[in-house]
């Protein structure tokens, strides 16, 4: 099995366990885990018009985002950390978001997961640090992914306006943050949240 070709359902503990076993069989160790799977199901908590409730964030959309963005991080870290403990080293990198720090309109479910990922990062930094494993989070801001660039020009302009550097981030900006935290140069960084957001403060 080639690791790059493996498809894993992060919400399924058996799928994650199989992938972990296969990775160890192929490479004899796991040095880096990047918990990056995520989905969006945006909606207002409640939508009211003329005093009447006309919509709300559904249970299904809340649960779906929690399952992938939060439970998936837990399931993958629980599966991989024993391998890292056995080898006495490892880097665990969790994808949070600027909205996990500041909140964001219409993203109750997504923000909840990204804030919780920061909390889990700090817990695991304490628990796994003595085992030679560092655990850190990256909190990207507005990044010019293919999905983001398909948004209306007005929204893109608003994103840029709220970013002091006055541009969207590039995927390589986030990749370099992960690369640094995974490197030997970051060996004394543990439990940190690295914002890669151009200085943005959501809501300003």
Distance (Å) of CA 38 to CA 79, 99, 133: 18, 14, 23
Which of 102, 110, 176, 178 is catalytic? The answer is: 110
Yes or no: say if 99 and 114 are a contact pair by the CB < 8 Å rule.
Answer: yes
Query: At a CB cut-off of 8 Å and minimum separation 6, what does 168 contact?
Result: 142, 143, 144, 148, 149, 156, 159, 160
Catalytic (active site) residue 110: yes
DSSP SS3 for 92: strand
Computed from CA positions of residues 102, 109, 66, 171, in that sequence, does the dihedral angle turn out positive or negative?
A: negative
Neighbours of 123 (CB within 10 A): 11
Tell me which residue of 137, 150, 149 sits closest to 193, measured CA to CA.
Answer: 137
CA dihedral 119, 123, 129, 135 (to 10 degrees): -20
Distances 53 to 49, 59, 105 between C-alpha atoms, Å: 7, 16, 18
Catalytically active residues are 110
């Amino acid at each position: 099995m080639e690791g790059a070709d493996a498809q894993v359902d992060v919400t399924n503990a058996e799928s994650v366990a199989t992938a972990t076993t296969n990775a160890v069989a192929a490479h004899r160790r796991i040095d880096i885990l990047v918990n990056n799977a995520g989905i969006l199901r945006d909606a207002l908590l409640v939508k009211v018009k003329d005093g009447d409730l006309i919509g709300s964030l559904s249970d299904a959309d809340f649960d779906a985002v929690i399952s992938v963005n939060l439970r998936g991080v837990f399931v993958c870290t629980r599966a991989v950390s024993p391998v890292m403990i056995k080898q006495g080293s490892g880097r665990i990198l969790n994808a949070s978001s600027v909205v996990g720090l500041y909140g964001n309109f219409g993203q109750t479910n997504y923000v909840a997961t990204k804030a919780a990922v920061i909390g889990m990062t700090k817990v695991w930094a304490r628990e796994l640090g003595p085992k030679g494993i560092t655990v850190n989070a990256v909190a990207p801001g507005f990044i010019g992914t293919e999905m983001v660039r398909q948004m209306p020009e007005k929204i893109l302009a608003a994103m840029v306006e709220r970013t002091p550097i006055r541009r969207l981030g590039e995927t390589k900006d986030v990749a370099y943050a992960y690369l640094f935290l995974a490197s030997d140069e970051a060996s004394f960084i543990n439990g940190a949240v690295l914002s890669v957001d151009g200085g943005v403060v959501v809501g300003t």
